[in-house]
């Protein structure tokens, strides 16, 4: 099987979410490539099995292409009789240490604040707007009669 996908790793960015997405896509691409090699499937043969264009398979195999949707992923894996799994876990402190080191060396307050936010989101998760969850009264839209009375006034 001839592969048309380059194997050079994508450079690390300064964004935790982008780096995580790249790591996930790299793992997905490697697993799909391994399956295709073990099954002696070329890109063209895999596209025929899935019933899609070769470009879709090539995008799945490209670790730098982060634009694959979950719908495409499930369609391809179902056709190839694969079971994709997504695991969500709290990020270990050891994985946050590089961000802490970059925070200490931040050249200005703005970049330090951005790194601090990434550390907090990585450790505690994304903040939730409690005002939307605490049962605060929601302003109801004006009734038709109220709108008519204001329009006539």
- The pLDDT value recorded for residue 21 is 85
Do both 64 and 113 map to the same domain?
A: no
Residue 140 covered by a domain:
no
Rounded-to-integer distance, Cα 66 and Cα 64, Å? 6
pLDDT at 112: 81
Domain of residue 71, residue span? 16-79
Q: Indicate the burial class of 86 (C-beta count within 10 angstroms; 0-12, 13-18, 19 or more).
A: exposed
- For helices 16-38 and 54-61, what crossing angle results, to 10°? 120
pLDDT score, position 114 = 81
Tell whether 8 is covered by a domain: no
Distances from the Cα of 55 to the Cαs of 13, 76, 82, in angstroms? 26, 12, 20
Q: Are residues 75 and 25 part of one domain?
A: yes
Q: Is 31 inside any structural domain? A: yes
Together in a domain, 68 and 99: no
Domain count for the chain = 2
Higher pLDDT among residues 11 and 52, named by residue? 52
Q: Is the model's pLDDT at 140 over the cut of 50?
A: no
pTM (2 decimals)? Answer: 0.53
pLDDT of residue 123: 62
Please give the DSSP secondary-structure letter assigned to residue 91. Answer: P
On whether both 31 and 55 belong to a single domain, the answer is yes
The reply to whether 23 and 60 lie within a common domain is: yes
pLDDT band at 52 (very low <50, low <70, confident <90, very high): very high
User: Could you tell me which of 52, 49, 60 has the C-alpha nearest to residue 3?
Assistant: 60
What's the chain's average pLDDT?
77
34 located within any domain: yes
- Mapped onto helix, strand or coil, the DSSP state of residue 68 is coil
If you count them, how many residues does the chain have?
Answer: 153
CA trace torsion 117, 120, 125, 130 (10° rounding) = -80
Give the DSSP H or E segment for 21.
helix 16-38
Whether residue 4 is predicted with pLDDT greater than 60 in this model: the reply is: no
The string of pLDDT tens digits covering residues 121-139 is 766 666 555 555 445 444 4
Could you give the percent of the chain with pLDDT greater than 90?
A: 29
Is the residue at 41 inside a domain? yes
Q: What is the mean pLDDT of residues 70-75?
A: 90
């Amino acid at each position: 099987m001839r592969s048309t996908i380059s194997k050079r790793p994508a450079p690390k960015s300064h964004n935790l979410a982008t780096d995580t997405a790249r790591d996930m896509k790299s793992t997905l691409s490697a697993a799909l490539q391994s399956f295709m090699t073990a099954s002696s499937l070329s890109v063209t043969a895999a596209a025929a099995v899935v019933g899609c264009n070769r470009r879709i398979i090539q995008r799945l195999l490209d670790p730098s292409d982060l634009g694959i949707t979950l719908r495409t992923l499930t369609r391809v894996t179902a056709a190839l009789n694969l079971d994709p799994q997504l695991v969500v876990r709290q990020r270990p402190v050891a994985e946050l240490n590089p961000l802490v080191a970059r925070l200490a060396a931040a050249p200005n307050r703005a970049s330090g604040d951005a790194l601090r936010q990434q550390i907090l989101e990585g450790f505690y998760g994304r903040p939730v707007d409690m005002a939307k969850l605490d049962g605060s009264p929601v302003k109801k839209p004006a009734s038709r009669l109220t709108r008519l009375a204001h329009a006539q006034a």
